[in-house]
C-alpha cells in the first residue's frame, strides 16, 4: 500500500510473493532461456530463491552491501563480495541477475560491470528486479513496478532487522 504522500510503500507478505510471481511471468514470457540465477544478498535472496524454484535453475549468491547507516536507511559505501557461491563450480553461460529493487541503480550497475569485466564464462547477462524507483539510473531487463515517487519500501520481513534473540525468547515465553 502506497501512502497518500507517495513517500512510503508498505508491502505485505502476500503482495511481496505476488510481485515475485509477476516477475517470473515477465521473464518466462520474454522467451529468454537462462542457465543460472544469481541473486544479490540480501535483498535478492527471497526473489532469487522463488525464481530458482519456479524455473528449476541453480541459485548462485553474491553478497553486496551498501545500506548501513540509520538502521539501514542510508546508502553508504558499496561492498561487493569477492566470490560467488554457486552449486556448479564456476558461474557460466546465461545468467539472470536478481535483486529486490533498483533504488539509485548504483549497486546493479556496479555488479553488472564487475560480472561483464571479470567473468568471461558468463555469455549473456540479464537483470530482474521487483521495483524500479524513478531516481534509478539503472533499467533492469525485467521489472514489475515502477515507482516514480521514490518511496521508501517497507518489506514484510524488515521487522527482523531490529529483532534480537532475547526479544524472540520474550515473545514466545508464556
User: What confidence score (pLDDT) does residue 67 get?
Assistant: 58
**Which residues in 80-101 are b (16+ Cβ under 10 Å) and which e?**
eeeebebeeeebeeebbbbbbb
User: What confidence score (pLDDT) does residue 74 get?
Assistant: 53
Each of the 174 residues of the chain gets a pLDDT tens digit; together they read: 888 888 999 999 999 999 999 999 999 999 999 999 999 999 999 999 999 999 999 999 999 987 555 444 455 678 888 889 998 788 999 999 999 999 999 999 999 999 999 999 999 999 999 999 999 999 999 999 999 999 999 999 999 989 999 999 999 997
Domain spans of the chain, in order of start: 8-172
Specify burial of residue 159 (Cβ count, 10 A radius: 0-12, 13-18, 19+): exposed
Q: How many CB atoms lie within 10 A of CB 158?
A: 13
Note the CATH number of domain 8-172: 3.40.50.2020
User: What confidence score (pLDDT) does residue 68 get?
Assistant: 52
User: What confidence score (pLDDT) does residue 71 get?
Assistant: 46
Q: Does residue 153 come out as left (phi exceeding 0), alpha (psi in the -120 to 50 range) or beta?
A: beta
Amino acid at each position: 500500500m502506497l501512502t497518500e504522500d507517495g513517500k512510503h510503500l508498505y508491502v505485505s507478505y502476500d503482495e511481496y510473493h505476488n510481485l515475485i510471481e509477476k516477475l517470473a511471468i515477465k521473464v518466462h514470457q520474454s522467451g529468454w532461456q537462462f542457465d543460472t540465477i544469481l541473486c544479490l544478498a540480501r535483498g535478492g535472496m527471497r526473489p532469487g530463491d522463488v525464481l530458482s524454484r519456479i524455473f528449476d535453475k541453480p541459485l548462485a549468491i553474491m553478497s553486496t552491501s551498501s545500506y548501513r547507516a540509520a538502521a539501514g536507511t542510508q546508502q553508504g559505501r558499496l561492498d561487493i563480495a569477492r566470490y560467488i557461491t554457486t552449486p556448479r563450480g564456476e558461474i557460466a553461460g546465461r545468467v539472470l541477475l536478481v535483486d529486490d529493487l533498483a533504488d539509485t541503480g548504483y549497486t546493479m550497475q556496479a555488479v553488472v560491470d564487475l560480472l561483464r569485466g571479470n567473468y568471461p564464462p558468463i555469455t549473456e547477462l540479464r537483470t530482474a528486479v521487483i521495483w524500479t524507483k524513478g531516481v534509478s539510473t539503472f533499467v533492469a531487463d525485467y521489472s514489475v513496478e515502477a515507482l516514480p515517487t521514490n518511496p521508501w519500501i517497507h518489506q514484510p520481513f524488515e521487522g527482523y532487522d531490529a529483532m534480537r534473540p532475547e526479544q524472540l525468547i520474550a515473545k514466545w515465553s508464556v
